[in-house]
Amino acid sequence: MNRIPVVIDVDTGTDDAICMTAAILNQDKLDIKAFTAVCGNVSVEKTSQNTLDIVDYLGTSYPVAAGASKPLVQNITFAISHGSTGLGDVQLPTSSRDFLPDPACEVIYRCAKEENGNLEVLATGPLTNVALAIRNHPDICSLIRRITIMGGSLIGGNMTPVSEFNIYNDPEAAKIVFESGIELVMVGLDVTLKPCLPTEVVEEMNKISSPHADLVRRIFSFMQRRSAEFGGDAPNLHDVIALASIVAPKLFTMKDYYTTIELNGALTRGMTVADFRNVSEKAPNVHAAVDIDIDGFWKWFIAVMRSSDTEK
Ligand code: RIB
Ligand code: CA
């Protein structure tokens, strides 16, 4: 099977870090061209450094580009649930490498040109970098094969009753991406809230010897303590579920809807508005994830992490 050339745009973040780890362990399926960082969970200075540190900690040297420091229009709303650094209390050695000299949006465009229309983008943060790439280089729309987004939801938000964090933080960017004509997969809260981290998966990480399992183990520990502190349920991993939709699509049920972004509603700004009954008579522009095989997802995740075991 040909490997998928992909740029992974992140706002690293604890769950972004788990997504990055699983992506790096899927090198048989993914040809990662670059990681690009955007402001979101924390500032872009922190999301980009977290991303670079993780790439190095996992023994790889993928290029990393820093991107947008603020959304297109509004100010950023950081997520308190990832801690002040974005990686909870997980401390990693600081990379000695530099970021790519070009900003994230230019790196996305360069990779799109180099891959002649086969490039995919996995976006797990606000869509500011992707939107800037589209706005600055409209020809990119025929050069990106598919964008998979962790973001939005068909029903219900986590920042407002109707808006999910990544879309909430840059609705103008999301509208540019959703109306770009590029094939879109939306992996929203409808499915990312279903797999809640089971204790046996946490325990499984203890049986694996690798920097990958070490990092995930430490992040899981922070997530569990944070959930207990906030009185929530078991943690949700959000971003790695979007990755799974690329490399393990059979785990998902998808439905196609015309979907756009509300910008002006006093109560609904940042809502991903899906036309379930096609009353707009507009062609669907989004493959929306509507269900997930939860047990199958955890089996997939454990198998991915076990592949890193240096003692197997
Ligand atoms: O709503 C969940 C999303 O917001 C995840 O990508 C998480 O990392 C935060 O960015
Ligand atoms: Ca994220």
Q: Please indicate, yes or no, if residue 291 is contained in any of the structural domains.
A: yes
Q: Which of 3, 13, 77 is nearest to 223 (CA)?
A: 13
Q: What digits encode the pLDDT tens for the residues 184-242?
A: 999 999 999 999 999 999 999 999 999 999 999 999 999 999 988 877 778 999 999 99
Angle between helices 294-306 and 14-24 (to 10 degrees): 60
- Atom from ligand 1 closest to the CA of residue 14: 8
Q: Is the CB of 15 under 6 A from ligand 1?
A: yes
Q: How confident is the model at residue 80 (pLDDT cuts 50, 70, 90)?
A: confident
Active site residue 238: yes
Q: How far is the CA of 12 from the centre of ligand 2 (A)?
A: 6
Q: Please indicate, yes or no, if residue 312 is contained in any of the structural domains.
A: no
Q: What is the pTM for the complete model shown? A: 0.97
Say which of 82, 212, 238, 287 is annotated catalytic. 238
Please give the tally of structural domains in the chain: 1
Q: Is the CB of 239 under 6 A from ligand 1?
A: yes
- Atom from ligand 1 closest to the CA of residue 159: 1
Q: Please indicate, yes or no, if residue 12 is contained in any of the structural domains.
A: yes
Q: Give the separation between CA 52 and CA 46, rounded to whole angstroms.
A: 10
Q: Is the CB of 124 under 6 A from ligand 1?
A: yes
The mean pLDDT value for 12-22 works out to 98
Strand partners, 259: 274
Q: Please indicate, yes or no, if residue 255 is contained in any of the structural domains.
A: yes
CATH at residue 226: 3.90.245.10
Ligand 2 ion: Cβ-proximal residues, 5 Å cutoff: 11, 13, 16, 124-125, 239
Q: What digits encode the pLDDT tens for the residues 247-284?
A: 999 999 999 999 999 999 999 999 999 999 999 999 99
- Atom from ligand 1 closest to the CA of residue 16: 8
pLDDT, residue 83, reads 87
Domain that holds residue 188: 4-306
Query: In a mutational test of the pocket of ligand 1, which residue from 9, 196, 239 has the highest number of ligand atoms less than 8 Å from its CB?
Result: 239
Q: Please indicate, yes or no, if residue 311 is contained in any of the structural domains.
A: no
| HEC string for the chain | CCCEEEEEEECCCHHHHHHHHHHHCCCCCEEEEEEEECCCCCCHHHHHHHHHHHHHHCCCCCCEEECCCCCCCCCCCCCHHHCCCCCCCCCCCCCCCCCCCCCHHHHHHHHHHHCCCCEEEEECCCCHHHHHHHHHCHHHHHCEEEEEEECCCCCCCCCCCCECHHHHHCHHHHHHHHCCCCCEEEECHHHHCCCECCHHHHHHHCCCCCHHHHHHHHHHHHHHHHHHHHCCCCCECCHHHHHHHHHCHHHEEEEEECEEECCCCCCCCCEEEECCCCCCCCCCCEEEEEEECHHHHHHHHHHHHHCCCCCC
Q: How far is the CA of 238 from the centre of ligand 1 (A)?
A: 6
Q: Please indicate, yes or no, if residue 140 is contained in any of the structural domains.
A: yes
